[in-house]
Amino acid sequence: MEQKKFDTNSLIGFILLGAIMIWYLYTNQPTPEELAKQRTEQRLDSIQKADALQQQNSTIKLENTPIKSVNPTDSAAVAQAQSKLGSFAYSASLPSATDHETVLQNDLVRIKVSNLGGQITEVELLKYKRFDKTPLYLVKDGNANFNLSFSTNDNRILQTKDLYFEPSLSQNGENQVLSMKLKVSEDQYLEYRYELKPTDYMLDFAIASKGMDQAINSSQNVNLNWNLKGLRNEKSIYTENRMYSYYYYKSEDDVSYLSQDESDELKDVDWVAFKQHFFTSLLKTDTPFEIAKVSSKNLVQDEDIDTVFTKEFAISTPLVMNNGNLNYNMNWYYGPTDYNVFKKYKGTDIKDVSDLGWGIFGWINRIIFIPVFGFLSSFIGNYGLIIILMTIVVRIIMSPVVYKSYLSSAKMKVLRPEIQEINERYKGKENAMKRQQETMALQRKAGVSMLSGCIPALLQMPVFFALFRFFPSNINLRQQSFLWADDLSSYDTIAHLPFKIPFYGEHVSLFPILASVAIFFYMKMSQGQQMSMQQPPQEGMPDMRKMMKYMMYFSPIMMLFFFNNYASSLSLYYFISNLLTIAIMLVIKHFIIDEEKIHAQIQENKAKPEKKKSKFRQRLDEAMKQAQEQQAQQKRQGKK
């Protein structure tokens, strides 16, 4: 019988297979973020299963319609209420079991709270009007619903929105205090407590219970649900709904938002905000919601048709009971989306809802433009004039940048004949590297850099984008008129079209037309200096001059279409800004720049001994030299 030998190759194969398996398992193991997400999903799944099981095992459920008030002397009505509500039938027998509303009001806001559900049923902002000059509401006619759902110890599932609370209005110094109690007895109740300060949009709100461990099943979740349909308040449905309405939230120390028709599951939620361009409805909690489901849904099917609602926002989250009772301190905010108002609530981060732009753009708006705008508006009542003055200030501040750009263009214009001579001397693709090297050497000797013309233009970009966010989101411009524009926060209209032009609309706005004309002449005027900065077209390379010529006509047309539905304040700014830039360029050209002096200075620079090259310049020249030698070698090999 043949003796089996030890197979070394098999052993090596098994070792390699084991190593590959270990490597695969290691590289595909879930990250900490993925593990946390899995735990969150498992917890949400267990919550949903527990709720479903609770509903399945419930022997008695509350109907969707609220229980009517019960006369304590009517034994049949009392028995019916007890069969549906159990111990909560007591609340239906109180005198407060009616659809009565209690009003809280200060100088800024009027709030109505209903006995039915103990929730806010109407919010009117007293200092603002809708686009049609009617009162402006954020909550009205059932567009909002705040509800707690819970299970009782006798296997009922109840909704606070269907139960009656007992109101009690009092004063706490100058503050108005409204206590709404859902009673099981005089000593057992669930309380909503509202407190409104004299001059504040923020409303203190607390949820607390006393002795409810005998009525509410603390082993099951008390779920909070808040949803709101945003009422249309602005003239342009397009800008209000699509461009500026978002669902903001702060979750795990990070402020973010949902786009329309999105939903998400969040952890450690501090607040949620339903932002509708210029107005915000916000719920904040001192005890973060451990897990919350949030969603945003678009309700506008056709932006050309008038609509009542724009978006629907919702949050659903379980509340934690301690020792059988609830204890949450919260706040409601119903008011303007105003950075100056938001920043008063320190430590909340709700100022991020104002959406002034990310990064440096938001920084410029917060540090520069908002203070400047506030300063000018403190003694000037016409907001159109404020925009013009702001534009003048910005253009004056940026004029050194314009001067640098124009000076660089003038220098390049003076050097253009010599650059053309270099191109004639080194023709052909095979001399492209040598041509580029000689051109850079000429510019370096003359003290001219291509970047000196690009950098000033780049420095202006942050200002451009910052103002692009500042004017359309500035609530102070809302419904402020100037010349023919009746609302600087929306588009101006000088004519209505009998048809709709795609991407343009059914109306004609004059400020975008003026801005487009101004930018055309600005580009036409600056095209000459841009051409002077462009090197003469080289063989095999595209002619940038033709592309710039096309852009001179394309950019104004694009601006005309884009800004026709945008805020007229932004078009006014660009119109004035381009006019001022043209004026500054004319002054620089005719009264400041002297091409003869520039030419003399360049010749003087060329005569000076060349400064010692930087290490970067040395490496760059060496790389170009090697590339040139390699190109020449390839050419010689090709001839052979």
Write out 30-62 in H/E/C secondary structure: CCHHHHHHHHHHHHHHHHHHHHHHHHHHCCEEC
Inside any domain, residue 164: yes
pLDDT grade for 221, boundaries at 50, 70 and 90: confident
CA distance 467 to 114: 43
45-49, 172-176, 229-233: least confidently modelled range:
45-49
Q: Is residue 509 part of a domain?
A: yes
Same domain, 300 and 401: no
pLDDT for residue 56:
41
Question: How far apart, in whole angstroms, are the C-alpha atoms of residue 71 and residue 33?
Answer: 57
In a domain, 399, yes or no: yes
Residue 442's pLDDT is 66
Burial (0-12, 13-18, 19+ Cβ within 10 Å), 634: exposed
The answer as to whether 401 is a domain residue is: yes
pLDDT confidence of residue 91: 78
Pick from 339, 355, 371: which residue ends a domain? 355
Residues 282 and 394 in one domain: no
157 pairs with which residues across the strands?
61, 151
Stretch among 60-74, 113-127, 186-200, 204-218 having the lowest mean pLDDT: 60-74
pLDDT at residue 359, rounded to an integer: 83
The confidence score (pLDDT) of residue 530 equals 53
Q: What is the CATH number of the domain that holds 157?
A: 2.70.98.90
Q: Which of 291, 322, 355 lies at the terminal end of a domain, its last residue? A: 355
Q: Which pLDDT score, from 0 to 100, does residue 20 have?
A: 63
Task: Tell me which range, 147-161, 188-202, 608-622, is most confidently predicted by mean pLDDT.
Answer: 188-202
Maximum average pLDDT range among 43-47, 59-63, 235-239, 241-245: 235-239
435 belongs to a structural domain: yes
User: What percentage of residues in the chain have a pLDDT greater than 90?
Assistant: 27
7 has a pLDDT exceeding 60: no
Q: Of 306, 338, 355, which residue is a domain's last?
A: 355
Instruction: Return the residue matching tokens 């004299």.
Output: 198
Task: Provide the greatest CA pair distance for the chain.
Answer: 118
Q: Give the start-end residues of each E strand in 320-366.
A: 327-336
Model pLDDT, residue 55:
42
Residue 36 is predicted with a pLDDT of 47
Q: What angle do CA 472, 555, 512 make, to 5 degrees?
A: 40
Residues 6+ apart with CB under 8 A from 523: 551, 552, 555, 556
* Weakest-pLDDT range from 124-133, 429-438, 494-503: 429-438
335 shares a domain with 234: yes
In a domain, 21, yes or no: no
Task: State pTM to two decimals.
Answer: 0.75
How confident is the model over 542-565, as pLDDT tens digits?
555 666 677 777 888 888 888 888
Instruction: Please give the full DSSP string across 195-209, using - where no structure is assigned.
Output: EE-TT-SEEEEEEEE
Angle at 216 between CA 215 and CA 219, to 5 degrees: 135
- 422, 426, 432, 434 alpha-carbon torsion, rounded to 10°: -80
For residues 334 and 393, state if they share a domain. no
Do 351 and 408 fall within a single domain? no
Residues 446-502: tens digit of each pLDDT: 666 665 556 656 777 888 888 888 888 899 999 899 999 988 988 899 888 888 888
Note the pLDDT of residue 511.
Answer: 92
Mean pLDDT of 158-183: 92
Q: Are residues 459 and 564 in the same domain?
A: yes
For 559-604, the pLDDT digits (tens) are 888 888 888 998 999 899 888 888 887 887 777 766 666 666 666 6
Query: What does the pLDDT look like over 342-382, one tens digit per residue?
Result: 989 988 889 888 888 888 888 889 988 999 998 998 888 89
The predicted structure's pLDDT at residue 52: 47
| Residue 326 shares a structural domain with residue 387 | no
Q: Is 150 helix (H, G, I), strand (E, B) or coil?
A: strand
Q: What is the pLDDT at residue 108?
A: 95
The count of structural domains within the chain is: 2
Rounded distance between C-alpha atoms, residue 615 and residue 634, angstroms: 29
Are residues 474 and 543 located together in one domain of the fold? Answer: yes
| Residue 331 and residue 192 in contact, taking contact as beta carbons nearer than 8 Å | no
The boundaries of the domain holding residue 100 are 75-355
Query: Do 425 and 507 have their domain in common?
Result: yes
Between these two residues, 502 and 529, which has the higher pLDDT value?
502
What's the pLDDT at 279?
93
Say which residues have a Cβ less than 8 Å from residue 341's Cβ, sequence separation at least 6: 201, 335
Helix, strand, coil tally for the chain in percent (to 5)? 45, 25, 25
Residues 396 and 260 occupy one common structural domain: no
Q: What percent of the chain has pLDDT over 70?
A: 68
Kindly state whether residues 108 and 196 are assigned to the same domain: yes
The pLDDT score that the predictor gives to residue 543 is 54
Which range among 24-38, 192-206, 289-303, 416-430 has the greatest average pLDDT? 192-206
138 shares a domain with 265: yes
At residue 537, the pLDDT reads 53
Tell me the mean pLDDT in the region 499-515.
87
Report if residue 113 sits inside a domain.
Answer: yes
Kindly tell me if the per-residue pLDDT of 303 is higher than 80.
no
Residue 130 falls within a domain, yes or no? yes
